[in-house]
Chains A and B, each alone.
Chain A
Amino acid sequence: QKEVEQNSGPLSVPEGAIASLNCTYSDRGSQSFFWYRQYSGKSPELIMSIYSNGDKEDGRFTAQLNKASQYVSLLIRDSQPSDSATYLCAVRPNFGNEKLTFGTGTRLTIIP
């Protein structure tokens, strides 16, 4: 069973600080990695994708991928109360397989 694991939290971070969310995956052949944000009662929204080792930055968000260690992380700089949500890590197993495997999510709370 291919797995994606996340710390369920809750993770509490002061406003303005950096929030760091981590995800590990079991399938070494995984190719594509995604972070979704889900507000309470709403559907998941794609916020970041990363396909190769290293960092990818988009505004206040940075995704980091280390395929050798099989982990992917999401950093949120200058955290805002509006960042309070559950963050889902999703992994695409291999090319040709479009069925994403999701982690159970980390609940993030930004404290004003």
Chain B
Amino acid sequence: SQTIHQWPATLVQPVGSPLSLECTVEGTSNPNLYWYRQAAGRGLQLLFYSVGIGQISSEVPQNLSASRPQDRQFILSSKKLLLSDSGFYLCAWSVGGTGFFYGYTFGSGTRLTVV
């Protein structure tokens, strides 16, 4: 069966510090991968979307970036965090290619507080 791992679970970082969040998927090949952010009391905002290694689509201009160095690994990064980057970061995967789309499976999330 497929599983998605996301870490760390919580993170407190000072303004201006770097960020690296990692997500890995097991039990599937060539998944579509997503990074979402959920600010307190707000909806899910799609940040990045990837259909394959090195293929990243950015949905919202900001000081965040994403990379996909391996088929089942997705990394969210920032060089300098802002207070507005605080939120609940969620990685998700879906079946890639021409497979039937069953929706997303989310990781357990990272709660980031920028202080």
Binding site for B on A (CB under 8 A): 32, 34, 41-46, 49, 88, 90, 92, 98-100, 102-105
Contact = CB atoms under 8 A, between A and B. Distances in A.
B108 interface: yes
Interface residues of B, number: 20
Contacts, number: 44
B90 interface: yes
Nearest to B106: A43
A46 B107 CA distance: 12
A87 B23 CA distance: 24
A68 B75 CA distance: 40
Given A43-B108, A45-B106, A98-B94, A88 B49 contact: no
A88 B44 contact: yes
A44 B32 contact: no
B42 A44 contact: no
A44 B59 CA distance: 20
Interface string B91-115: 0001000000111111111010000
B46 interface: yes
Given A43-B90, A98-B32, A104 B46 contact: no
